[in-house]
Amino acid sequence: MEQDQKKLIRAVVRQVHPDLFTAHPFERSKNSESLKALNVYADQLSKGLIPDPARLEFYVKQGEGTFSKVLTSLPGTASLSPLFFSFGLITEEEALRDAAAVASSNGANVGRDLFEWLSTVAEEAALAADQHDAMKREVRSLRSDLEEQYGFAALDIGGEFVLGGEAQRKQVEALTALAQGLEILLSSSQQTSSAEKIDRNEFRNLAVRLYHPEGAPLVTVGYQGDDGTFNVRTEPMESHVGETGILHIVGHEDPNRVAAALEKLDLSRAQLLSKVSSFWVRRSRELATALRAALAVENVWFDARSEDAARKFVLWVGAVLEKKENLAVALLGRGYAFSVLVHSDDSSPLLDFIESSSVLQVRTDCPPKHLLAFMVSEAGELAHETATLVADTKAEEAAALEAVRDALGAKHVVRVCSSYDQHKVLEAAARLVEAAPSLRAAVDLSGISLAIDDCYDVWESGFISIPFDFSISDLQPQLQALLAPPAQEAAVSLTSDGSGRRRNGVAANAIAVAPTTKLLRRRSFIDDSVVRRSVTQQRRLMHAFKVSNLCRGSVSSIVFKKI
pLDDT in tens, 399-414: 999 999 999 999 999 9
| Residue 423 contacts residue 452 (beta carbons within 8 Å) | no
User: Residue 88 — left, alpha, or beta (φ > 0 → left; ψ -120 to 50 → alpha)?
Assistant: left
Structural domain containing residue 223: 129-265
As a whole number of angstroms, the distance between CA 392 and CA 395 comes to 5
> What SS3 class is residue 492?
strand
Residues 151 and 203 in one domain: yes
Q: Is residue 182 part of a domain?
A: yes
> Which pLDDT value is given to residue 433?
92
71-80, 370-379, 518-527: range with highest mean pLDDT: 370-379
Q: What residues pair up with 57 in beta bridges, in sequence order?
A: 71
Q: Is residue 108 part of a domain?
A: no
> Which pLDDT value is given to residue 112?
59
Whole-structure pTM over 0.85, yes or no?
no
Higher pLDDT, 233 or 298: 298
Q: Is residue 21 part of a domain?
A: yes
Q: What residues pair up with 235 in beta bridges, in sequence order?
A: 219
Higher pLDDT, 25 or 149: 149
The pairing of beta strand 464-467 with beta strand 457-458:
antiparallel
Count the domains in the chain: 4
> Which pLDDT value is given to residue 65?
62
Q: With both helix axes pointing from N to C terminus, report the angle between 422-442 and 475-483 in degrees, rounded to the nearest 10.
A: 20
Residue 397, Cα to own-chain centre: how many angstroms? 17
Residues 394 and 525 in one domain: yes
Least reliable range by pLDDT among 132-146, 405-419, 542-556: 542-556
Q: Residue 219 — φ and ψ, nearest 5°?
A: -125, 155
Q: Is residue 541 part of a domain?
A: yes
Residues 193 and 144 in one domain: yes
Residues 153 and 198 in one domain: yes
Q: What mean pLDDT comes out for the span 263-275?
A: 92
CA atoms within 13 A on the CB side of 415: 24
- Helix, strand, coil distribution of the chain in percent, nearest 5: 55, 15, 30
Q: What mean pLDDT comes out for the span 154-174?
A: 80
Residues 337 and 426 in one domain: no
pLDDT, one tens digit per residue, over 53-112 is 788 989 888 765 677 888 888 876 677 888 888 888 887 777 766 654 443 433 444 455
Residue 404: C-alpha distances to residues 17, 87, 528 (Å): 22, 33, 15
Residues 398 and 540 in one domain: yes
Residues 420 and 528 in one domain: yes
> Which pLDDT value is given to residue 198?
79
Q: Is residue 493 part of a domain?
A: no
Q: Is residue 496 part of a domain?
A: no
| Residue 473 contacts residue 121 (beta carbons within 8 Å) | no
Q: Is the pLDDT of residue 555 over 70?
A: no
Count of other CB atoms within 10 angstroms of residue 129: 22
> Which pLDDT value is given to residue 21?
81
Q: Is residue 118 part of a domain?
A: no
As a whole number of angstroms, the distance between CA 196 and CA 451 comes to 55
Find the angle CA(349)-CA(355)-CA(359) to the nearest 5 degrees.
Answer: 65
Least reliable range by pLDDT among 88-102, 288-302, 315-329, 434-448: 88-102
> Which pLDDT value is given to residue 239?
93
Q: Is the pLDDT of residue 511 over 60?
A: no
> What SS3 class is residue 369?
helix
Residues 332 and 416 in one domain: no
Q: Which residues contact 207 (CB under 8 A, 6 or more apart)?
A: 64, 152, 153, 154, 155, 156, 245, 246, 247, 274
Q: Is the pLDDT of residue 525 over 90?
A: no
As a whole number of angstroms, the distance between CA 59 and CA 67 comes to 6
* Percent of residues, the chain, with pLDDT higher than 90: 28
3-state SS string over 265-307? Answer: CCHHHHHHHHHHHHHHHHHHHHHHHHHHHHHCCCCEEECCCCH
Q: Band of the pLDDT at 524, cuts 50, 70, 90?
A: very low
Which residue spans within 98-229 are E strands per DSSP?
Answer: 154-156, 207-211, 218-224
| Residue 258 contacts residue 292 (beta carbons within 8 Å) | no
Name the strand (E) or helix (H) holding 189. helix 165-189
Residues 394 and 541 in one domain: yes
Residues 253 and 317 in one domain: no
Q: What mean pLDDT comes out for the span 500-507?
A: 33
Q: Is residue 398 part of a domain?
A: yes
Q: Is the pLDDT of residue 164 over 50?
A: yes
Residue 271: C-alpha distances to residues 265, 275, 277, 343 (Å): 11, 6, 10, 26
Chain-wide mean pLDDT for the chain? 76
Residues 63 and 207 in one domain: no
Residues 400 and 528 in one domain: yes
